[in-house]
Amino acid sequence: MKKIMVIGASGQIGTELVIALREKFGNDNVIASDLKETIKAALSGGPYEQLDVMDNEALKAIVNKHSITEIYLLAALLSATAEKHPDFAWKLNMEGLFNVLNLAKEKVIKKVFWPSSIAVFGSNTPKYNTPQYTIMEPSTVYGISKLAGERWCEYYAKQYNVDVRSIRYPGLISYTSLPGGGTTDYAVDIFYSAKRNEKYTCFLSEQTALPMMYMEDAIRATIGLMEAPDDSIKIRSSYNLGGISFTPAEIYAEIKKTKPDFEIEYAPDFRQKIADSWPSSIDDVDARNDWGWNGEFNLEKLCKIMLENVLDAGISVSQNT
Ligand code: NAD
Ligand code: AKB
């Protein structure tokens, strides 16, 4: 019987992933876990365990207690926060992964999902339609940890027959939970300003195109990849995932169609350099061919849903950075 644990469940992806997994596999079969003591209301429909993923003994105890078969490991420091705490970011992003991969190596659990990011690419990577296999020279601590993580995932798959699956997520956009300190967070924050009828100060420049995706597509991709037959998974490092590509100017123009008085100004900060080192768009032909990935949300549809659903309150960690 499938028993899933999501580590980092209180975050932007975790909150929606837990809800989707519980809908599919039943509330009691999906254990949400996070460093945070308090359970979010959205996660209260099923079991919750407070856990520091770097505490290997505590992790093993919870896995044994619930007879966990699959782990989705989401706990990490994201790009902007990681640049401020490089040593800790490396420690968390790598130690958490090793603790979980080793459980799969020892056959305590059967399957692992671990997300990578477009941050694995660098300024020498082809910027448009970035291919699956290309130059990878990340310049951020976050990107370095994700690239190292990808290599370890492939190593564990090949050497120890570990069933580990991964996606290089683009910037994710959602309204259920705020983003946690990334470079792409502007594309969430902008909706809160629009909703409050406030001028938005964008921390990236007008023409910075980045790959992005609406959360519903990302959750569908994640569960789709994890449920795909083992022999269809040809890539054990991490799959490119495309989504949509737009600039701050383009998302602003789309929001203005609904909010004609909405204003924006541009004040690029340290995150501009990070964004400049990342691709503008991604080629995800392997994900399409291997396990049938297909995105459903374009910029227009995404903006409509976000404007309908974001609450007036709320600002991400990034906007405050
Ligand atoms: P987030 O910052 O919103 O959430 C991370 C969660 O992990 C938080 O709830 C935090 O409390 C928890 N956490 C932190 N340290 C922990 C620890 N030691 N033990 C247990 N839990 C801990 O992040 P997110 O946006 O949900 O991202 C999840 C994963 O997806 C990360 O690996 C991130 O790199 C990757 N990713 C996210 C995006 C995106 O746009 N959101 C894009 C690419 C990749
Ligand atoms: C970030 O901006 O750090 C994340 C990511 C693309 O990995 N959203």
Q: Same structural domain for residues 185 and 80?
A: no
11 lines ligand 2 (CB under 6 A): no
Ligand 2 centroid distance, CA of 182 (Å):
5
d(CA 7, CA 71): 7
Q: Same structural domain for residues 50 and 175?
A: no
d(CA 59, CA 63): 6
Predicted confidence at residue 310, as pLDDT, reads 92
171 lines ligand 2 (CB under 6 A): yes
Q: Same structural domain for residues 155 and 176?
A: no
> Ligand 1: which of 74, 320, 321 to mutate, judged by most atoms within 8 Å of the beta carbon?
74
Q: Whose CA is nearest to atom 19 of ligand 1?
A: 52
Q: With respect to residue 291, please indicate whether it lies within any of the assigned structural domains.
A: no
Q: Which of 142, 186, 192, 214 is catalytic?
A: 142
Predicted confidence at residue 278, as pLDDT, reads 98
Which ligand sits nearest to residue 77's alpha carbon? 1
Q: Same structural domain for residues 199 and 144?
A: no
Q: Whose CA is nearest to atom 8 of ligand 2?
A: 171
Predicted confidence at residue 12, as pLDDT, reads 97
Q: Same structural domain for residues 40 and 126?
A: yes
Name residues contacting ligand 1 (CB within 6 A). 7-8, 10-14, 34-36, 51-54, 74-76, 78, 92, 115, 117, 169, 171-172, 179-182, 184
d(CA 154, CA 221): 20
Q: Which amino acid is at 154?
A: E
Residues 6+ apart with CB under 8 A from 102: none
Predicted confidence at residue 311, as pLDDT, reads 84
Q: Same structural domain for residues 50 and 88?
A: yes
Tokens read off for 131: 């291919």
Q: Whose CA is nearest to atom 37 of ligand 1?
A: 169
Let me know the angle formed at the C-alpha of 309 by 282 and 313, rounded to the nearest 5 degrees.
105
Q: Same structural domain for residues 104 and 94?
A: yes
Q: Which ligand 2 atom sits nearest the alpha carbon of residue 142?
A: 3
Q: With respect to residue 290, please indicate whether it lies within any of the assigned structural domains.
A: no
Residues 6+ apart with CB under 8 A from 234: 286, 290
d(CA 113, CA 222): 8
Active-site residue 142, yes or no?
yes
Rounded to 10 degrees, the C-alpha dihedral 143/19/312/203 comes to 10
Q: How many domains does the chain have?
A: 2
Residues 6+ apart with CB under 8 A from 320: none
Q: Same structural domain for residues 49 and 198?
A: no
User: Domain of 224: which CATH number?
Assistant: 3.40.50.720
User: Domain of 305: which CATH number?
Assistant: 3.90.25
Q: Same structural domain for residues 183 and 116?
A: no
Q: Give pLDDT tens digits along the chain (321 positions).
A: 899 999 999 999 999 999 999 999 999 999 999 999 999 999 999 999 999 999 999 999 999 999 999 999 999 999 999 999 999 999 999 999 999 999 999 999 999 999 999 999 999 999 999 999 999 999 999 999 999 999 999 999 999 999 999 999 999 999 999 898 999 999 999 999 999 999 999 999 999 999 999 999 999 999 999 999 999 999 999 999 999 999 999 999 999 999 999 999 999 999 999 999 999 999 999 999 999 999 999 999 999 999 999 986 555 555 544
Q: Whose CA is nearest to atom 4 of ligand 2?
A: 182
12 lines ligand 2 (CB under 6 A): no
Q: Same structural domain for residues 110 and 27?
A: yes
The answer to whether 301 and 214 have CB atoms below 8 angstroms apart is yes
Q: With respect to residue 264, please indicate whether it lies within any of the assigned structural domains.
A: yes
Domain that holds residue 61: 4-168+214-240
Ligand 2 centroid distance, CA of 177 (Å):
15
Q: Same structural domain for residues 125 and 146?
A: yes
Predicted confidence at residue 321, as pLDDT, reads 44
Helices 56-66 and 86-105 meet at what angle, rounded to 10?
A: 40
Q: Same structural domain for residues 309 and 205?
A: yes
Helix (H, G, I), strand (E, B) or coil at 121: coil
Q: With respect to residue 287, please indicate whether it lies within any of the assigned structural domains.
A: no
